[in-house]
Amino acid sequence: MKISASLIRAVIVIILLIIIVSDFFYIKFLKKKMDNITILTCEADSMIAVNPLSFKEPKVLFTSEFIDVFYHYESPFKDGKSFNELIKEYIRNRWADHYGCGRGTRERKRIHEGIDFFVPENTPVYPLTNFGIVTEVSDNPHYLIKVEYEKPGGIKDSTKIEYGKLVRILYPEGIESVYVHLNEVFVKLNQTVDRNTVVGLTGLTGNIRNSGKPSHLHMELRDSENRSFDPRNRLRFEQNSAEYFIEHINIGDE
The residues binding Zn ion (CB under 5 A) are 114, 116, 218
Q: Report d(CA 163, CA 206) in Å as an integer.
A: 5
Shortest separation between residue 82's beta carbon and Zn ion, angstroms: 21
Residue (50 or 161) nearer to Zn ion, CB: 161
Residue (45 or 136) nearer to Zn ion, CB: 136
Q: Report d(CA 165, CA 151) in Å as an integer.
A: 28
Name the closest residue to Zn ion (Cβ).
218
Residue (72 or 92) nearer to Zn ion, CB: 92
Shortest separation between residue 101's beta carbon and Zn ion, angstroms: 9
**Phi, psi torsion values for 222, nearest 5 degrees:** -130, 150
CB atoms within 10 A of CB 188: 8
**Phi, psi torsion values for 220, nearest 5 degrees:** -115, 150
Q: Do the beta carbons of residue 145 and residue 160 sit within 8 Å?
A: yes
- Helix H segments across the chain? 2-35, 64-70, 83-90, 208-211, 239-248
SS3 content of the chain, % helix, strand, coil (to 5): 25, 30, 45
Q: Residue 95 has what DSSP assignment?
A: T
Q: Is 94 helix (H, G, I), strand (E, B) or coil?
A: coil
Shortest separation between residue 152's beta carbon and Zn ion, angstroms: 24
Residue (218 or 222) nearer to Zn ion, CB: 218
Shortest separation between residue 213's beta carbon and Zn ion, angstroms: 8
Shortest separation between residue 87's beta carbon and Zn ion, angstroms: 14
Residue (74 or 116) nearer to Zn ion, CB: 116
